[in-house]
Amino acid sequence: MNNNKEEQLNNVLYSMKGAPKAKPPTQLFTKIEQELASQSKVIQLKQLSIVAAALVGLLILNLWTIQALQQNRQLSTQKQSNNPNISLMSNYKIYQ
């Protein structure tokens, strides 16, 4: 009885040993090729979006710099016009 049980246990444990292999579906390679083709498109789109993001970043940086420069200029001209003490000549008695 025990030997029989042991044999049956072994039959289950080694039931796949030397068993024939299952065949993959015939259309699987076509599917893989399609997947690869779609992935290369995705990569291109990804690269494009990275380039676009970099360009937008550069544009924003440029605009910010121009704005900052303009503000700086305005401030310096305002300072100059608001300051009454500044004059080109401090002594008008030239011929003394």
Partner 1 sequence: MNVNAEELLSRIAAEDRQAFQQFYQLFAEKVFNTALSYTQNLQDAEEVTQDVFTSIYQAAANFKAKAAVNTWVYRITVNKSINFIKKKKRLTLFQLNYTQKEQTDFEHPALILENKENAKLLFQFIESLANKQKTAFILSFVEDLPRQEVANIMGISLKAVESLLQRAKKNLRSKLEKSYPNRRI
Between residues 15 and 82, which has the closer beta carbon with respect to partner 1? 15
Provide the sign of the torsion angle of the four alpha carbons 91, 93, 94, 96, taken in this order.
negative
8 binds partner 1 per the rule CB under 8 A: yes
Rule CB under 8 A: is residue 1 a binding residue for partner 1? no
Shortest separation between residue 46's beta carbon and partner 1, angstroms: 14
Closest distance between partner 1 and the C-beta of residue 51, in Å? 22
State the nearest-atom distance from the C-beta of 6 to partner 1, in Å. 9
Q: Are 80 and 86 in contact (CB under 8 A)?
A: yes
Residue found under tokens 């900052």: 68
Among candidate residues 77, 95, 96, the one with its CA nearest the CA of residue 86: 77
Amino acid of residue 29: F
> What residues between 28 and 87 interact with partner 1 by CB under 8 A?
28-29, 31-33, 35-36, 39
Q: Is 76 helix (H, G, I), strand (E, B) or coil?
A: helix
Q: Which residues bind partner 1 (CB under 8 A)?
A: 5, 8-9, 11-25, 28-29, 31-33, 35-36, 39
